[in-house]
């Protein structure tokens, strides 16, 4: 009976070992599959990263920043210089491009020096080509969520707006007209 018992125990041990080996193989296989899924997922994420569609360049204040499509999740003032949702793109004839960004301090304060712009200063907006703009008016008013400007007929405008640096109760608005021949 002890021989039978020993054979029985050995059989159980072999079965358990086989199951343990099978479980370990499955875990390794699943781990490899998960790794493949992660790599595939990472590749998909990498290929779906949104790319900027434009760049704003203001040499006077050493600003060169990327802009994302109006409907992009990256087009948010909490991350970047931003197209206002009601904005046109620069290639629209007689359109109005409206761009905003934070002023103040910190890494998101892209427009912290916007108040240094003066009449006749230049801004370039790279989109499908370079669009050149010249400052024609600078205004400030109480910050109330509205944007105030008058548009001449047959002109393309670029509006830059932010809280007035050092006075976040005021809104700074810089109006630029597109230049046909820079």
* pLDDT tens track for 70-91: 999 999 999 999 999 999 999 9
Instruction: Report how many helices (DSSP H) and strands (DSSP E) the chain contains, helices first.
Output: 1, 8
How high is the pLDDT of residue 181?
Answer: 72
How high is the pLDDT of residue 121?
Answer: 97
Q: Is 104 left (phi over 0), alpha (psi -120 to 50) or beta?
A: left
pLDDT higher than 70, residue 54: yes
Task: Work out whether the CA dihedral 144, 139, 165, 156 comes out positive or negative.
Answer: positive
pLDDT in tens, 133-176: 999 999 998 888 888 787 888 999 999 999 887 777 889 999 99
Specify the pairing of strand 82-83 against strand 63-67. unpaired
Q: What angle do CA 61, 66, 71 make, to 5 degrees?
A: 130
- 155, 168 contact by CB (below 8 A): no
Mean pLDDT of the chain: 81
Edge-to-edge strand list for the sheet holding 82-83: 63-67, 54-58, 122-126, 130-142, 167-179, 157-164, 96-100, 82-83
How high is the pLDDT of residue 6?
Answer: 56
Q: Supply the pTM of this predicted model.
A: 0.71
Q: Calculate mean pLDDT across residues 48-66.
A: 92
């Amino acid at each position: 009976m002890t021989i039978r018992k020993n054979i029985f125990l050995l059989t159980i041990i072999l079965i358990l070992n086989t199951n343990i080996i099978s479980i370990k193989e499955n875990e390794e296989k699943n781990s490899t599959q998960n790794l493949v899924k992660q790599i595939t997922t990472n590749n998909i994420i990498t290929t779906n990263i949104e790319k900027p569609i434009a760049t704003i360049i203001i040499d006077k204040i050493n600003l060169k920043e990327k802009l994302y499509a109006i409907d992009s999740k990256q087009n948010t003032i909490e991350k970047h210089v931003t197209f206002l949702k009601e904005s046109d793109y620069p290639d629209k004839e007689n359109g109005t491009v409206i761009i905003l960004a934070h002023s103040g301090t910190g890494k998101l304060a892209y427009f912290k020096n916007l108040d240094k712009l003066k009449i006749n200063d230049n801004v370039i907006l790279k989109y499908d080509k370079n669009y050149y703009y010249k400052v024609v008016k600078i205004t400030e008013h109480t910050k109330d969520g509205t944007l105030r400007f008058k548009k001449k007929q047959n002109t393309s405008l670029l509006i830059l707006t932010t809280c007035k640096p050092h006075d976040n109760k005021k809104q700074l608005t810089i109006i630029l007209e597109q230049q046909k021949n820079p």
